[in-house]
Structure 1
Amino acid sequence: MARPKPAIIFIFITLFLDIFGIGVIVPVLPKLVEQLQGGDLEAAAHSVGWLGALYALMQFIFSPVLGSLSDRFGRRPVILGSLLGSGIDYLVLAWAPTMGWLYFARVVSGITAANISAASAYIADVTPPEKRAAGFGMIGAAFGLGFIAGPAIGGLLGAHDLRTPFFVAAGITLLNWLYGAFVLPESLAKENRRPFSWESAHPIKALVALKRWPIVFGLAGTHFLSVLSGNIYPALWVLYTGYRYGWDSKMVGWSLALVGILAAVVQAGLAGKVLKRIGEKRGIYVGLLGMAAAMFCYGSANKGWMIFAIIFVGSIAGIGSPATQSMISKAVPADEQGAVQGALNSIMSIAGILAPVLWTALFSWSIADERHTKVPGLAFYGASLASIAAVGLAWRAFRRAQPEAVQEA
């Protein structure tokens, strides 16, 4: 089995390059949809929502399958397969002449998008329980760093040609796949593998199976609402800031780059230290309340410069996710990490199905011509309420779980 430190570095680089490829297209995909929709912003908002929902639906269906396959054959082939699928997806997006091709590309990418669940299982494989919060923080840091360079470069390239960022994303992702094919080691020892079972691969049954661990099942609901709230960024950020503040792709890119910088600092540098001091349970509360406050402020900000100040304040939300993942991973055995992470990824996918449709629909409704009073921040207020509800579910989960399950690391 791979030694922990090199393995985490490998998975960190893999996720960084993968997220960089995603980040490159964030500032331009909604603009491409708007272009293919003939410049109709309201129609584009709905289409962006449905594209995100279709992508997430494919993840929901296939994540438990890929998670269980990683428990049987190892994490490495699942990660490499998902990278290859993503590279093909970006090429299809780059050449897509109609909306139908965009929908097809999202299906392909959704089916193969197992990086997060496989990477989470990978971290659980190679880190001791007391260091998992910091390990999962590295995943968040990889996302953050990927979003520093990705949106900034995507915004700059997209200002000249909307298609160019998709080709760049394809090249980066396929390079990542080639890198992993040669140097990414396997993390799951043969003695910790288990036979593939369609029972654990079924998305609904995989979610129901989480009931075997009360703390896992309880925190799964918290995780769902947290992801539902956080998914407002990819679903609405471009459209919202463009409508309310007149931002172009460059400004969107720089703002998301700042989000990435702070996410990297918080999750890679601060999360482990903060959680070691205050404990994972309190860390979940702090992260969720920080997210709720940030979402409310985004919806209320009437000047574009305020967004940058809110990004700084809201960065504290970054400690919540590694704390939640760490507590969940500690509650399950080594040979079921892939299945459980696949189930959690399905939960993320359900949130991903609902979030683009819900947030873009709220935004579209709130700015419609027939509205006498327009409230463009309505969707962000909804995301704030979702985060507060997540706090309630976490509190309920800790009360219901056995005391030893919620002891601080």
Structure 2
Amino acid sequence: MLPHLIVELIGGSIAQAAVWVGAFGALFMLMQFVFSPVQGALSDRYGRRTVILISSFGLGMDFIVMALAPVLWLLFVGRAISGMCAASFTTANAYIADIVPKEKRAAAFGTLGAAFGIGFIVGPALGGFLGHLSIRLPFWVAAGLSLVNFCYGWFVLPESLPPERRSKRFEWRHANPLGAVMLLRRYPQVFGLAAVFFLINLAQFSLNSTYVLYTDYRFGWGPQVVGYTLGLVGLCSGLVQAVLVRRLMPSLGERRMILLGLVLCIGGYVLFGLAPTAWLFLLGIPLLSLGGLAGPPAQALVTHQVDAHEQGRLQGALSSLASLAGIFGPALFANLFALFISNHAPVHHLPGAAFVLAALLLAAATLVAVRATRPSQTTVSAPNDEAPIAFPGETSPLAAPVADMLPNEPPESSP
């Protein structure tokens, strides 16, 4: 409903509103990029529950601001608050790392991903229904749900990080995107999978940015068909993360599940980009959804490498990388689509070039993951100049594809 609210405020056309929607999206991602490490570091110092409660309350206030906004600049304020508070996904991941044993984390991250996926399916559908009643009603309902979530956290949610396991101090030099990346440098075995996360997130924006345009241009699909197929993508992805990850994890293990998910996702993007008919295009949906097998085990492996008092910073670093992909990805893929349907296209008639590029990015991610999950790496990562820590009966398959290119940084003293 945001584009229609913008039209109401500026008195322009939907095309003019689209420009502002793009600006709002970039602002949201920028705020998330900046504040994910801040929330992660704060949760390491003051606990996960406190940060989650503040974010939930802030999100509720944000939706109220947007529901009442009489002028466009207040929507910008609201969207900035949204980006700041949406960084709480960082803290939710750290919460899981606190309370779930290592061997069960992949399934837990899959369940969390499925919950967010269901929200992305139900939310737009509910917003569209409510928007027919009143253009501002979806924002009021979203505010109410956020405040209900805050109340649940206040009265029910326990703290996951006891004081004795917290970081002893909060430092601004760590609570920023650059400081978050420095954490990855301190744990170089995490660096490889962080690169995989970034490439996966970047590739995903080919879908977000061009799916509607591409299917309209190639197959003549209208909003209804696009809505059905995107709903199918969300449903399949939710089932994969909620059910298949848990079922396959004991037999496949993290490494094989990561590589299997990446390869299947590559197949999905190739079909999306090159399928000559709509039916073949649709076959890419289950393949793309099965690519969701890669994320939860990769997330679990990364959490194995870092102590409890730095889980928030780790998740902040990963969220910042995802937000960075969100800043550059939409423009990259949208412009690539526009180029390859124009008369200046370097390759004649390749409207699916954005999906082909996504497949190539995931192929690169697969090569990195092959090395980053080598079974020969059997120790848990430690800072560069510390001896690795081995846990009895446990292997850590993370390697460092680019670690050798990075200068050593002395580890922080344990707080």
TM-score (norm 2): 0.80
Q: How far apart are the structure 2 equivalents of 1:370 and 1:96?
A: 43
Q: Does 1:40 align with 2:50?
A: no
Distance 1:115 1:326, change over 3 A: same
* Counterpart code for 1:191: E
Q: How far apart are the structure 2 equivalents of 1:297 and 1:164?
A: 39
Moved more, 91-100 or 293-302: 91-100
Q: Does 1:53 align with 2:22?
A: no
From 62, 67, 74, give the equivalent of 1:89: 62
Alignment match, 1:386: 361
Q: Does 1:80 align with 2:53?
A: yes
- CA offset at residue 298 of structure 1? 2.1
* Counterpart code for 2:311: Q
SS of the residue corresponding to residue 170 of structure 2 reads coil
Q: Does 1:280 align with 2:250?
A: no
8 Å contact from structure 1 (residues 287, 318) kept in 2: yes
Distance 1:84 1:381, change over 3 A: farther
- CA offset at residue 48 of structure 1? 4.3
- CA offset at residue 234 of structure 1? 3.6
8 Å contact from structure 1 (residues 125, 188) kept in 2: yes
Q: Does 1:172 align with 2:145?
A: yes
- Unaligned 5+ residue runs, structure 2? 381-394, 399-415
* Counterpart code for 1:88: M
- CA offset at residue 117 of structure 1? 0.9
Alignment match, 2:107: 134
From 315, 318, 327, give the equivalent of 1:344: 318
Q: How far apart are the structure 1 equivalents of 2:204 and 2:224?
A: 22
- CA offset at residue 214 of structure 1? 2.2
8 Å contact from structure 2 (residues 26, 327) kept in 1: yes
* Counterpart code for 2:356: Y
Distance 1:168 1:243, change over 3 A: farther
Alignment of 1:110-129 (within 5 A): 110-129=83-102
- CA offset at residue 139 of structure 1? 1.1
Alpha-carbon deviations, 1:215-234, whole Å to 9, x = none?
A: 21111111101111123344
Q: How far apart are the structure 2 equivalents of 1:303 and 1:149?
A: 29
8 Å contact from structure 1 (residues 147, 257) kept in 2: no
Alpha-carbon deviations, 1:214-257, whole Å to 9, x = none?
A: 22111111110111112334444444445555555544443333
Alignment of 1:255-274 (within 5 A): 255-274=229-248
* Counterpart code for 1:389: A
Q: Does 1:309 align with 2:283?
A: yes
8 Å contact from structure 2 (residues 379, 397) kept in 1: no
Q: Does 1:147 align with 2:116?
A: no
Q: Does 1:193 align with 2:193?
A: no
- Higher alpha-carbon Rg: 2
Alignment match, 2:186: 212
- Unaligned 5+ residue runs, structure 1? 1-27
- RMSD of aligned alpha carbons: 3.2
Distance 1:78 1:125, change over 3 A: same
Distance 1:93 1:408, change over 3 A: same
More helix by share: 1
Alpha-carbon deviations, 1:111-160, whole Å to 9, x = none?
A: 22222110110000001111111111111111222234223333445567
Alpha-carbon deviations, 1:162-191, whole Å to 9, x = none?
A: 654444333333332232222222111121
* Counterpart code for 2:61: I
Report 1 or 2 for greater relative contact order, CA contacts < 8 Å, sequence distance ≥ 6. Answer: 1
* Counterpart code for 1:319: L
Q: How far apart are the structure 2 equivalents of 1:242 and 1:154?
A: 23
Alignment match, 1:71: 44
SS of the residue corresponding to residue 160 of structure 2 reads coil
